Structure 1
Amino acid sequence: MPFARSVLAAATIALVGGTALPAAAIQLTPHRATYAISLDGSKPANRVNGADGQIVYELRGNPCAGYSVQLRQSTDLATEGGQVNSAVSTATWEDGDGNSYRFRVTNTLNGETPEEADGVAERKDGRLVVKATKPEADTIQLGKNVMLPTQHVLRLINSAEQGEPILEASVFDGSPDAKKVYDTLSVIGRGMSDPKGLENAATSGDLAGRTRYPVTVSYYERGAAKETPDYIISFDIFDNGVSRNLKLDYGEFALRGTLISYEALPKEECAK
């Protein structure tokens, strides 16, 4: 089956040199969010009978100090061939201008020796250059107009607030091999603040009454000669960067991520 540990890593990270964002007011809230994973029953699944697991996503920082993200995902799939467990752990830091990035990604399948990607990316003369230490030491020239994950999240929110329904962007996050770039196509719906149907975790604290936007992002491997995306992520994103109602569609099956807890973390003052 086409399920791979790298696909799960890339899909969940995305939950964050283009042109600069306006100096205004998009403020990502430092937070910790936990999502319960289940098999999406609305999509026919090929050789996958059930799914269970959890995603824990933590964002800290601001435009002055940069943004750090830690993500842990553990997924158990009941397949026709037996139980499959995928464990993903990522730790990244990105500067507030989207010009510098550090990443460490670990993927483990069924407790075997993990696959790792580790390195740094710097924008030089507009070009994103990656120096990887894992899976092997290498320097990769990714070219211009490649966004970093938090930069992409900020651009999504900005496009949503401006009423722009389409965003095309090339994105690098380090997974799965410290060199892959995805061309993405995002379809952004109109903002809403009606609390009907929201999880309890999405209606309390600083999420109460906030505007959120439905977003669908299709990921295509750059240079691949095919018209269908590698995977598709759908979610609602609040105007402070918190997501809910995740759907991770891998083609032959899809997973749901339901927000079960949310905690705003302390903010640090920033002059930007």
Structure 2
Amino acid sequence: MSATFMARALIASALAVPLLATAASAQPVQLSPHRATYALSLDGGTPAKRVNSAKGEIVYELRGNACAGYSVQLRQSTDIETDGGRLNSSISTASWEDPEGNAYRFRVVNTVNDETPEEADGVAERRDGQLVVKATKPEEETIRLAKGVLLPTQHVVKVLTAAGQGESIVEAPVYDGSPDAKKVFDTLSVIGKGTNNPEGLEEAATKADLAGRMRYPVVISYYERGTDGQTPDYTISFDLFDNGVSRALKLDYGDFALRGTLISYEALPQENCAK
């Protein structure tokens, strides 16, 4: 597996975390600003090829509301011991998405083993249903994406709306800007039955505004658009609370998988919004 592919998968899993809550009764979207920290480790339940150990951390922060839009800050560091030596991936991302999914800003910086960082930077605007991306990194160019492509927050709204209505399958193309400001991924989301049973939850997932909340198990498979592969490029799974917080992350790259355990959670101040 290339460092670039691994970094892209890690980025996407993290950017999938800005999770919106909605209900079958079509109540206005409610998103809880929060800061969450996840400890990463090698998933012992998945056979690992050429990977001996792994550890790391994701620190994720979401702010905003349905009036001003939603911003995400992410820092992630992962150390992996392979048969060929150690691989360290350090990732930072910043993104903002407007409430209607018509404008998007993103910046991604990925450093592998202290080498020259790989960067993606740009803005996207929806025009007549089509996303037009103006990238400044890795190079200046304009990219026109097909109609119907969703932004990250739009995608999760669609998934959680389906969950609230008892649906179990969502298919959608998604764009988040990484790793090169060009790629669109076709996604297949499988949604399980919701529960508010606290059994098995981490301590951080039982406190503050997470206590007693409904959550849904979700598995999302990502396929790079334009390829013929029947096997996903990677798969992520997590429990999705109805206020937009994630727990029990699993990042499956095929050759190995990482687990992300929620070790701390802080609800951030909710900004006023009339919507």
Same fold (TM over 0.5): yes
Q: What is the correspondence of 1:1-272 to structure 2 with a 5 Å cutoff?
A: 1-3=1-3, 4-16=6-18, 24-272=27-275
Q: Does the 8 Å CA contact 2:62/2:71 hold for their aligned counterparts? A: yes
Find the aligned partners of 2:99 and 2:29 in 1 and give their Cα distance: 12
Q: Does the 8 Å CA contact 1:39/1:256 hold for their aligned counterparts? A: yes
Q: Does the 8 Å CA contact 1:32/1:263 hold for their aligned counterparts? A: yes
Q: CA deviation at 1:241?
A: 0.8
Q: CA deviation at 1:151?
A: 1.3
Unaligned stretches of 5+ residues in structure 1 = none
Find the aligned partners of 1:46 and 1:124 in 2 and give their Cα distance: 44
Residue deviations 1:163-221 (CA, integer Å, cap 9, x gap)? 11000111000000001000000000011000000000000110000000000000000
Q: CA deviation at 1:150?
A: 1.2
Residue identity opposite 1:120 in structure 2: V
Q: Give the % identical residues.
A: 70
Residue identity opposite 1:229 in structure 2: P
Residue identity opposite 1:27 in structure 2: Q
Q: Does the 8 Å CA contact 1:118/1:132 hold for their aligned counterparts? A: yes
Q: Does the 8 Å CA contact 2:168/2:190 hold for their aligned counterparts? A: yes
Q: CA deviation at 1:25?
A: 2.9
Find the aligned partners of 2:13 and 2:210 in 1 and give their Cα distance: 24
Tell me the secondary structure at the aligned position of residue 221 of structure 2: strand
CA RMSD between the two structures: 1.3
Q: Does the 8 Å CA contact 1:157/1:241 hold for their aligned counterparts? A: no
Q: CA deviation at 1:23?
A: 6.1
Q: Does the 8 Å CA contact 1:129/1:143 hold for their aligned counterparts? A: no
Q: CA deviation at 1:123?
A: 0.3
Compare 150-159 and 185-194 and name the one that shifted more: 150-159
Q: Does the 8 Å CA contact 2:17/2:245 hold for their aligned counterparts? A: no
Q: Does the 8 Å CA contact 2:123/2:135 hold for their aligned counterparts? A: yes
Compare 3-12 and 150-159 and name the one that shifted more: 3-12
Unaligned stretches of 5+ residues in structure 2 = none
TM-score using structure 1 length: 0.96
Compare 7-16 and 32-41 and name the one that shifted more: 7-16
TM-score using structure 2 length: 0.95
Find the aligned partners of 1:174 and 1:191 in 2 and give their Cα distance: 31
Find the aligned partners of 1:199 and 1:86 in 2 and give their Cα distance: 26
Find the aligned partners of 2:172 and 2:251 in 1 and give their Cα distance: 19
CA 1:128–1:23: 2 relative to 1, 3 Å: farther
Find the aligned partners of 2:10 and 2:269 in 1 and give their Cα distance: 29
Residue deviations 1:55-100 (CA, integer Å, cap 9, x gap)? 0111000110000001111000011111110011100000001110
Residue identity opposite 2:99 in structure 1: G
Find the aligned partners of 2:26 and 2:194 in 1 and give their Cα distance: 22
